[in-house]
Structure 1
Amino acid sequence: MARDPRFDILFTPLKIGPKTIRNRFYQVPHCNGAGTNSPGMNMAHRGIKAEGGWGAVNTEQCSIHPECDDTLRITARIWDQGDMRNLRAMVDHVHSHGSLAGCELFYGGPHAPGLETRTIARGPSQYNSEFGTVPGCPGFTYNHAADKDELLRLQQQYVDAALRARDTGFDLVNVYGAHAYGPMQWLNPYYNRRTDEYGGSFENRARFWIEVLEKIRRAVNDDVALVTRCAVDTLYGRTGLELEEDGLKFIEMASPYLDLWDVNIGDIAEWGEDAGPSRFYQIGHENDWIRHIKQATSKPVVGVGRYYDPEKMLQVVSSGIIDIIGAARPSIADPWLPRKIDEGRIDDIRTCIGCNVCISRWEMGGVPFICTQNATAGEEYRRGWHPEKFEPAKSEHDVLIVGAGPAGSECARVLMERGYTVHLVDSRDKVGGYVNDVATLPGLAEWSFHRDYRETQLQKLLKKNKKSQLVLGRKPMTADEILNYGASRVVIATGSHWSTTGVNFMTHDPIPGADASLPHVLTPEQVFEGKKAVGKRVMIINYDSYYMAPSLAEKFARAGHEVTVATVCGLAAYMDYTLEGANMQRLIRGLGIKVLGETGCSRVEEGRVELFNIWGDGYKREYKGAGHLPRSENATHTWHECDTVILVTGRQSEDSLYRELKARKDEWEKNGITDVFVIGDAEAPRIIADATFDGHRLAREIEDEDPQHQKPYKREQRAWGTAYNPGENPDLEWRV
């Protein structure tokens, strides 16, 4: 199919100083867990986007000097020749598809803790970081207030890094000043408390940044396009940078030195205000700020706002709000998004759901990123997976998949893409499994995009493969039915359920009196079913770290119930990693939800629960002999009245069908069955992204020797005793 001519403007080339971007799609800098030490992963992940039509593809934040080392988090570096060699693999691959390659120069100040290099960063004044440089530990790291000599040294570090970027082959050099990094700390009065010519007035605070741009421009001349990434409003009011005060003034002042503006809002402590999760922010959520930028500059502007919808992209470009569509998360969810628009395949776009699970892995530190929608993200090199290309089927084996949730539907989709005959069966009336329930929770409607993509693709594939079937709304299959079905391979993807008796990670036992067969006790599944009345006073017993307890609390608070959450772990603790945490806490308190932290439940009775402080057994231990606890008896147990108890404690796999089939293995051969597999939550409860990955992986590896257990992936490492030679002969076997 040809593209809709209405979208032609999105494919119009645009001059960016000495360079030309071939269209209006710009993958803004974002971390992916590759850094510089995994050049193959970085090359493959960024290169697949150039292949998919992104006109410019950037690195992540690229540290310019050892004193802005960002370990534990994995980020890129451009400190020396070795780093340049490793980054060149990405540059060459991006260029091979006709796209521009950009390098974002990063200096973190105290926001980069230097845990590996053990160095101290410089800044305009001394302060400790409000960001959790060590996850969960804000205020942990300090910087050093730069004197004039150190200030000039820091500026030269930017120049040297820009020259290394140019010599690596990058087309765009981006001076990173968003998210409270680098030169933003000099411009922002929140950080800059100097009284010399680099502090005080706006002109003085802007001086450092302007001088950096001047010096880089002189050094690189027109060899590269010069970009700066700038937060035009830090969202702190007058204590920080405001759009209509310093923001627009800086855009106007710095424009003569630049070829492109990369603009956003927010800072680093709550950078979810920029990378807005769909729970709180919709597409184009930065437009109220970004729409003013063009009045202060004639240079092209790239802006972000989780642009996944071509209609919205067309709207903001046609109306002149921005010139180029910037995206990080949508480019991860679908690296081929521009190409699909160009080819008129808009319904094939794998839409970003805004869950920010990709960000969560980077925030944890030390692990590659993942994507809920795109199971191949980060696996392009490690496992050789391409998001749009699949190895043809290697056998005539047909496959029965029981369960059409995240794992089952993804497994079916990939197997059908490969050409296998697939029978996908589910007792629900709709593909998606528990995603159908989760998407009904407050703020999580866009998570349904996960289901919608697979539903659409399955329907298309069924039209191509007439032998495959999708059977929904039938009674749950039994082991006898599966054995007699006639499929040679069976995949069990029956999911998991929340414990009906309060089994949890602290005791591994039920909570006495917790029984979801009683009218006053519910599990989340029973809440979704809506078959039980919920009383005025709701008590949520929470032993889970993610979205379920706070979402249910919000649901019932909005419905007029009095809600209390007794939580062992921090309520929504994992949501600090997905950048939902701060606003979730504000929301919880704004709705009047009572949170009892560090609180467990020891008993449930009709009309009340017994709660206790989990640290109430004292800090001192002593040996008292067998049968006696080494600490004092916990004396903090108290009763709390309530009408309804909701158990958000632990999940358990729905694996009885799988275990029965395994127990009847001696019947497989006579029924023509060669293999029985279990995937997703039916194997072990996990987040949607990992369940989806599991289904995808099995479909890719189903002809391997032991498909149930994943085969090793390619690791990028130096072997002891070999020369340090980063980037030499990059392995390109991942290409399809």
Structure 2
Amino acid sequence: MKNKYYPHLASPIKINGVTFKNRIFGAPMSNPELDTDCNMRKEEIAFHENRARGGLASVAIGLGIVDAIGRTHTKEIKLYDVMSLPSLKEAANAMHRHNCNAVMELAHGGKYGNARGHSNADGTLIGPNDEVNPEGLQVRSMTDEDIYRVADCFAEGAKLVKEAGFDMVLIHGGHGWLLGQFSSPTMNHRTDKWGGSLENRMCFSLLVIEKIREAVGPNYPIEFRMSGAEYTKDGYTIEEGIKMAKMLDGKVDIIHVSAGIHEDPEVFTFTHPSMFIEHGYNVYLASEIKKHVKTPVATLGGLNDPDMMEEIIASGKADIIQVARQSLADPYFPEKAFSGNADDITRCCRCYTCFFNYLTNRTFCCAFNPVIGNELENKHAFPATTPKKVIVVGGGPGGMEAAITAADRGHSVTLYEKNSKLGGQLLSEQYIPFKQDMFNFVKVLKGRLEKSGVDVRLNTELTAEQAAAENADVIITAIGAKPIVPPIPGIDNEKVVGLEALHQPTPALGQKVLILGGGLVGCECAIYLDSLGKDVTIVEMKGDWAADAYFMHKNAMIIAMRDSNIKINVNTKAKAVTAEGLACETTDGEVTFEADSILLAAGMKADRAVADSFYNAAPRVFQTGDCIKPGRVVEAVTNGYYRALDI
């Protein structure tokens, strides 16, 4: 089903396995102020969270600097310092409360890296050439060693960002930043393999992409920001921009097409369009590039009208819309547009009030929005909700929490659960002695549902069509995840069972139990089954068991297993279920582990097909919990709570 107001703009898009809930992404906005160690304060996090709350599919934090010498001012996040991790984690969590993906921009100032006290030991900056920059500072031409070192810095920065829980990295390769300096014919005068032809000038960017991919792995989105044209005298035009994009095609997951060179005042008003330039001025750059690449293309540039945004996506000019200033004028404009309230959108007038205050007062500000820059103080002063008819699909902990919170806020809530009991995956904990406190949480939530007046419908598998017929104002899908079933011969054998085998006082398992999957869940099951006297064997394809456990909890499991008979086999890949048990490939060759029962604990995967079927079954449809990304109870409950606050 499609949004009846903006069917193309509201449609989700999957980027390298990560689902973005619509086509409006928050373009990078850097922080005018940080704490003394260059970590984000509560104020900066509240600013970015406010953008996320309004319905953007992602929010990008700008100018994460990957190398000390690359800082252009003293208030940029230091991605080369592991101590940046705590505030980055907090920022990512803030985005995720609103089903908004968190993105970090990776940047290096190159010849403009003039932050006080952060130059090389010899007092010079680094860039493509030996020169003196516009501020009179000496710039040294980068050696091969410099180039490979900085590429590694980008990779380490990306690795830190991923560890912090961000969903994508954005490489800044445009606007005259270091990678843009190398790709520019006006700024790169080298005659070696890093200069001259466009192919040579792009080598540094391609090296950085290669290093980042090695650091983050194949299944992590990488966005690359480039200038489609430089707009400067003797700078490259869209024709060369197309050639650059073709070199990026297939190597990154989004080609983000911007324009111009940031440090050129004549071009600044094209890179960040002024009110004197028609809306969508830079869209043609993305449109031309999209004709030549298969990679999704993003466009931007002073866009503030959802009708224009819809036309851009519908006509195939771009796949993604990026906005920055518009998300200050009205952070809630996506939700307003998709709910049929576009007339209530405050549109950015491109007056540069935000830029002026950023550069002079080091504050976030908007001429039209008094909350901007004061989000922390106004956190509880957002407009009160009006009672709505809300449907929650799924009775796991996340769905229950969402239903309770929505009902407590005055909404009329009906919760549908396809099974006969509430609890979702926590039902597996009911008969495990050391999990009783966790299962008790289900009972507590059930009590709260009753007190809150939520209408609970068990044994009811609600379809999108049925939900649409209910004419609800809001639908929250909390349908959870489904088990990963390895595609191996014999997997449908009756001896192979899921975690539902534990949903009874005496597990429906034989004496010899093989657990396929040695993550946290599989290992906890092993401890439980061992306590019942079962002969337990764990098979895990990774090189470590319970790699997804908190280190303290894993230490506790090590102690709990110390006197057990549990046999753990890592670096072991299942090949086939046989009459004897499970045939596996190990580092020592093929081995068959005898088993009466094989318990599947190979992990979970988001049930995207069912979740996505509910898209636009109501004016607003929110997703929460494992149907976005399988996680822990804490993520499910937290996301359910905040999703209900977004109504």
TM-score bucket (shorter structure):
0.5 to 0.7
User: Match for 2:24: what amino acid?
Assistant: F
User: What is the correspondence of 1:612-623 to structure 2 with a 5 Å cutoff?
Assistant: none
Shift of 1:112: 2.4
Secondary structure of 2:32's aligned partner: coil
Secondary structure of 2:9's aligned partner: helix
Secondary structure of 1:256's aligned partner: coil
User: Match for 1:249: what amino acid?
Assistant: K
Unpaired segments of 5 or more residues in structure 2? 387-641
Secondary structure of 2:298's aligned partner: strand
What residue is the counterpart of 1:663 in the other structure?
none
Aligned: 1:373 with 2:368? yes
C-alpha distance in 2, partners of 1:93/1:48?
9
User: What is the correspondence of 1:161-240 to structure 2 with a 5 Å cutoff?
Assistant: 161-237=157-233, 239-240=234-235
What residue is the counterpart of 1:413 in the other structure?
none
Q: Is the 8 A contact 1:380 1:386 kept in 2?
A: no
Shift of 1:390: 6.2
User: What is the correspondence of 1:398-413 to structure 2 with a 5 Å cutoff?
Assistant: none
C-alpha distance in 2, partners of 1:223/1:142?
41
What residue is the counterpart of 1:14 in the other structure?
13
Q: Is the 8 A contact 1:39 1:89 kept in 2?
A: no
Shift of 1:44: 1.0
User: What is the correspondence of 1:515-594 to structure 2 with a 5 Å cutoff?
Assistant: none
Q: Is the 8 A contact 1:229 1:261 kept in 2?
A: yes
1:43 to 42, 45, 53: 45
C-alpha distance in 2, partners of 1:332/1:143?
36
Q: Is the 8 A contact 1:232 1:242 kept in 2?
A: yes
1:257 to 245, 251, 261: 251
Aligned: 1:95 with 2:92? no
What residue is the counterpart of 2:71 in the other structure?
69
What residue is the counterpart of 1:718 in the other structure?
none
TM-score of the two chains, using structure 1 as the length reference: 0.49
User: Match for 1:229: what amino acid?
Assistant: R
Shift of 1:274: 1.1
Deviation string, structure 1 residues 426-474 (Cα, Å, up to 9, x no partner)? xxxxxxxxxxxxxxxxxxxxxxxxxxxxxxxxxxxxxxxxxxxxxxxxx
C-alpha distance in 2, partners of 1:3/1:368?
39
What residue is the counterpart of 2:331 in the other structure?
335
C-alpha distance in 2, partners of 1:391/1:343?
14
Shift of 1:243: 1.1
C-alpha distance in 1, partners of 2:313/2:83?
39
- Distance verdict in 2 for CA 1:375–1:128, change over 3 Å: farther
User: Match for 1:10: what amino acid?
Assistant: L
Aligned: 1:124 with 2:118? no
Q: Is the 8 A contact 1:26 1:56 kept in 2?
A: yes
Deviation string, structure 1 residues 79-112 (Cα, Å, up to 9, x no partner)? 2122121121110110121111101001011222
- Distance verdict in 2 for CA 1:373–1:385, change over 3 Å: farther
C-alpha distance in 1, partners of 2:33/2:56?
19
C-alpha distance in 2, partners of 1:109/1:331?
29
Aligned: 1:309 with 2:278? no
Secondary structure of 1:263's aligned partner: strand
Q: Is the 8 A contact 1:101 1:171 kept in 2?
A: yes
Shift of 1:391: 12
Deviation string, structure 1 residues 401-423 (Cα, Å, up to 9, x no partner)? xxxxxxxxxxxxxxxxxxxxxxx
Q: Is the 8 A contact 1:18 1:222 kept in 2?
A: no
Shift of 1:161: 0.7
- Distance verdict in 2 for CA 1:19–1:121, change over 3 Å: farther
Deviation string, structure 1 residues 208-265 (Cα, Å, up to 9, x no partner)? 111111111122113420111000110124x222111x21111001112100011111
Shift of 1:346: 1.1
Question: How much identity, in percent, do the aligned residues show?
Answer: 26
Secondary structure of 1:28's aligned partner: strand
Secondary structure of 2:257's aligned partner: strand
Deviation string, structure 1 residues 95-137 (Cα, Å, up to 9, x no partner)? 12111110100101122212143444321112333xxxxxxxx
C-alpha distance in 2, partners of 1:93/1:385?
13
- Distance verdict in 2 for CA 1:390–1:257, change over 3 Å: same
1:266 to 253, 260, 269: 260
Secondary structure of 1:103's aligned partner: strand
What residue is the counterpart of 2:25 in the other structure?
26
C-alpha distance in 1, partners of 2:322/2:380?
23
C-alpha distance in 2, partners of 1:390/1:14?
31
Q: Is the 8 A contact 2:29 2:62 kept in 1?
A: yes
Secondary structure of 2:138's aligned partner: coil
What residue is the counterpart of 1:384 in the other structure?
378
User: What is the correspondence of 1:255-654 to structure 2 with a 5 Å cutoff?
Assistant: 255-268=249-262, 269-270=264-265, 271-278=268-275, 280-364=276-360, 367-381=362-376, 383-385=377-379, 388-389=382-383
- Distance verdict in 2 for CA 1:250–1:320, change over 3 Å: same
- Distance verdict in 2 for CA 1:123–1:155, change over 3 Å: same
C-alpha distance in 1, partners of 2:136/2:371?
35
What residue is the counterpart of 2:59 in the other structure?
57
What residue is the counterpart of 2:4 in the other structure?
5
C-alpha distance in 1, partners of 2:383/2:136?
45
User: Match for 1:7: what amino acid?
Assistant: Y
Secondary structure of 2:202's aligned partner: helix
C-alpha distance in 2, partners of 1:51/1:43?
12
C-alpha distance in 2, partners of 1:387/1:3?
32
Q: Is the 8 A contact 2:125 2:137 kept in 1?
A: no
Q: Is the 8 A contact 1:233 1:243 kept in 2?
A: yes
C-alpha distance in 2, partners of 1:190/1:178?
13
Q: Is the 8 A contact 1:3 1:343 kept in 2?
A: no
- Distance verdict in 2 for CA 1:192–1:369, change over 3 Å: same
Shift of 1:363: 2.5
- Distance verdict in 2 for CA 1:118–1:198, change over 3 Å: closer
- Distance verdict in 2 for CA 1:121–1:87, change over 3 Å: farther
Deviation string, structure 1 residues 576-622 (Cα, Å, up to 9, x no partner)? xxxxxxxxxxxxxxxxxxxxxxxxxxxxxxxxxxxxxxxxxxxxxxx
Structural RMSD (CA): 2.3
- Distance verdict in 2 for CA 1:29–1:201, change over 3 Å: same
C-alpha distance in 1, partners of 2:107/2:154?
9
User: Match for 1:186: what amino acid?
Assistant: F
Moved more, 26-35 or 143-152: 26-35
- Distance verdict in 2 for CA 1:361–1:371, change over 3 Å: same
- Distance verdict in 2 for CA 1:56–1:338, change over 3 Å: same
C-alpha distance in 1, partners of 2:307/2:55?
17
Q: Is the 8 A contact 1:127 1:191 kept in 2?
A: no
Deviation string, structure 1 residues 335-383 (Cα, Å, up to 9, x no partner)? 111011122111221111110110112223x6112110111111112x2
Secondary structure of 2:250's aligned partner: helix
What residue is the counterpart of 1:490 in the other structure?
none
Deviation string, structure 1 residues 536-582 (Cα, Å, up to 9, x no partner)? xxxxxxxxxxxxxxxxxxxxxxxxxxxxxxxxxxxxxxxxxxxxxxx
Shift of 1:143: 2.2
Shift of 1:183: 0.8
Q: Is the 8 A contact 1:170 1:224 kept in 2?
A: no
Q: Is the 8 A contact 1:39 1:86 kept in 2?
A: yes
How many residue pairs end up in the alignment? 380
Secondary structure of 2:19's aligned partner: strand
Q: Is the 8 A contact 1:233 1:241 kept in 2?
A: yes
- Distance verdict in 2 for CA 1:299–1:387, change over 3 Å: farther
- Distance verdict in 2 for CA 1:172–1:187, change over 3 Å: same
